[in-house]
């Protein structure tokens, strides 16, 4: 159900402190047998760059095939709207080379795949956040609303799950904690470790999907749509509530026809009636995100993905200040309304009973 992470990674580096944790020691033993280059960094040492200075695209691609095993020291969680209340920082970056990725501007010039071995500390901090949020919610409304965490805000933990097992531990932790819900979204199919986990319906696994044109041109290094849908079906059979994220919707020539064909092919594999309801009360869910970009992201994309042809003209766009205070170019009001109406109708027709959480 997807390419194994060991085949996506060329080299691995370990922070010395990571070897003080069981997961760090296990990964070091395992990866030493699998990879040609495994090194422990000196204290405060930097990961060596393997490309000549000035090779921006080469450095980016090399970083996406480099694993860094680290200790997560900053345990202050970031907000995560509209997906969840808080980010759950299990991993940073992923092996994918998606040209449009919003993390282009946040992970720096060397977006190494960074996994964190102090998983118990991260989960304990999540419990602290949940206790505070639940107390505030109960005081305000008396309903004890669950606190929702997103595990894929800054990376794709499923891409490396067969190596780390960190997401499986989180799933079982959230399964036991009645105050919390967990969400994760992926473009990979490595879900086997999750299938036997005791999730109790408290983790929603979502799969990012798009048209064959978008996947072929702008989602290099990810699983095929067929592999993602097969993984979605397997997760649904394991009783998880699942979701599908159509992102980003790009209004290129012929987009309506291709997204309609995508909906038909998805409906042949995943039916709303086959998806269990989660602890959030929902069965199959959809999230739709239209394409947007910042001026800085456009510059980085042009340097890292030269020739990709991602449409980033300001024509037909409007400038909007986002939730984090910076501006981005989104579709103008007419195009945005057309996409919203079309996608909402498409989902309603092909997936009766599914919940459309948002179109943005």
- Taking the mean position of all CA atoms in its chain, how far away is CA 348? 25
Interval 23-58: pLDDT, tens: 999 999 999 999 999 999 998 889 988 777 778 889
pLDDT of 214: 97
Confidence band for 324, pLDDT divided at 50, 70 and 90: low
Residue 113 CB contacts under 8 Å (≥ 6 apart), including other chains? 9, 64, 66, 67, 68, 91, 92, 93, 94, 95, 155, 159, 160
Cα distance between residue 116 and residue 80, in whole Å: 19
**How large a percentage of the chain has pLDDT more than 90?**
78
pLDDT of 137: 57
Q: Are 250 and 214 in contact (CB under 8 A)?
A: yes
Peptide bond into 82 cis (omega under 30): yes
Interval 164-214: pLDDT, tens: 999 999 999 999 998 899 999 999 999 999 999 999 999 999 999 999 999
Write out 139-179 in H/E/C secondary structure: HHHCCCCCEEEECCCCECHHHHHHHHCHHHHHHHHHHHCCC
Structural domains of the chain in order of their starting residue, each with its CATH number: 5-359 (3.80.30.30)
Interval 109-155: pLDDT, tens: 889 999 999 999 999 999 999 988 766 655 554 445 789 999 999 99
pLDDT of 140: 54
Cα distance between residue 289 and residue 317, in whole Å: 15
- CA dist 131 → 7, 137, 147, 199 (Å): 40, 10, 9, 20
pLDDT of 2: 43
Q: HSE of 359 in the Cβ direction (CA atoms, 13 Å)?
A: 17
Relative to beta strand 355-359, strand 37-40 is: unpaired
Interval 257-309: pLDDT, tens: 999 999 999 999 998 889 999 999 999 999 999 999 999 889 989 899 988 89
Q: Tell me the CA end-to-end span of the chain in Å, nearest whole number.
A: 30
The helix/strand count (H/E) of the chain reads as 10, 16
Interval 216-230: pLDDT, tens: 999 999 999 999 999
pLDDT of 74: 95
- The count of other CB atoms within 10 Å of the CB of residue 143 is 9
Cα distance between residue 17 and residue 122, in whole Å: 16
């Amino acid at each position: 159900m997807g390419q194994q992470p060991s085949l996506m990674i060329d080299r691995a580096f370990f922070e010395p402190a990571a070897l003080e944790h069981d997961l760090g020691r296990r990964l070091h033993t395992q990866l030493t047998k699998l990879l040609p280059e495994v090194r422990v960094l000196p204290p405060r040492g930097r990961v060596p760059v393997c490309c000549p200075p000035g090779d921006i695209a080469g450095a980016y691609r090399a970083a996406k095939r480099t694993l860094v095993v680290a200790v997560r020291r900053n345990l202050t969680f970031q907000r995560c709207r509209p997906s969840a209340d808080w980010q759950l920082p299990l991993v940073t970056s992923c092996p994918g080379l998606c040209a449009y990725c919003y993390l282009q501007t946040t992970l720096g010039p060397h977006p190494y795949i960074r996994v964190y071995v102090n998983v118990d500390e991260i989960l304990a901090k999540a419990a602290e956040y949940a206790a505070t949020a639940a107390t505030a919610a109960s005081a305000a409304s008396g309903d004890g609303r669950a606190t929702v965490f997103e595990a894929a805000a800054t990376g794709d933990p499923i891409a490396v799950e067969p190596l780390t097992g960190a997401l499986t531990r989180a799933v079982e932790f959230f399964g036991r904690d009645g105050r919390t819900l967990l969400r994760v979204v992926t473009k990979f199919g490595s879900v086997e470790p999750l299938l036997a986990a005791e999730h109790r319906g408290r983790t929603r696994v979502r799969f990012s999907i798009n048209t064959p044109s978008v996947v072929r041109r702008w989602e290099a290094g990810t699983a095929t749509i067929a592999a993602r849908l097969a993984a979605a079906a397997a997760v649904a059979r394991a009783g998880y509530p699942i979701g599908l994220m159509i992102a980003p919707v790009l209004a290129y020539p012929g987009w309506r026809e291709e997204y309609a064909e995508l909906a038909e092919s998805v409906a042949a594999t995943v039916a709303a009636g086959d998806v269990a309801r989660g602890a959030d009360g929902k069965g199959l869910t959809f999230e739709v995100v239209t394409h947007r970009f910042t001026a800085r992201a456009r510059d980085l994309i042009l340097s890292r993905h030269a020739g990709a042809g991602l449409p980033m003209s300001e024509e037909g766009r409007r400038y909007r200040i986002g939730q984090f205070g910076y501006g981005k170019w989104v579709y103008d009001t007419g195009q945005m309304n057309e996409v919203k109406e079309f996608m909402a109708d498409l989902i309603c027709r092909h997936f009766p009973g599914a919940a459309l959480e948002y179109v943005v």
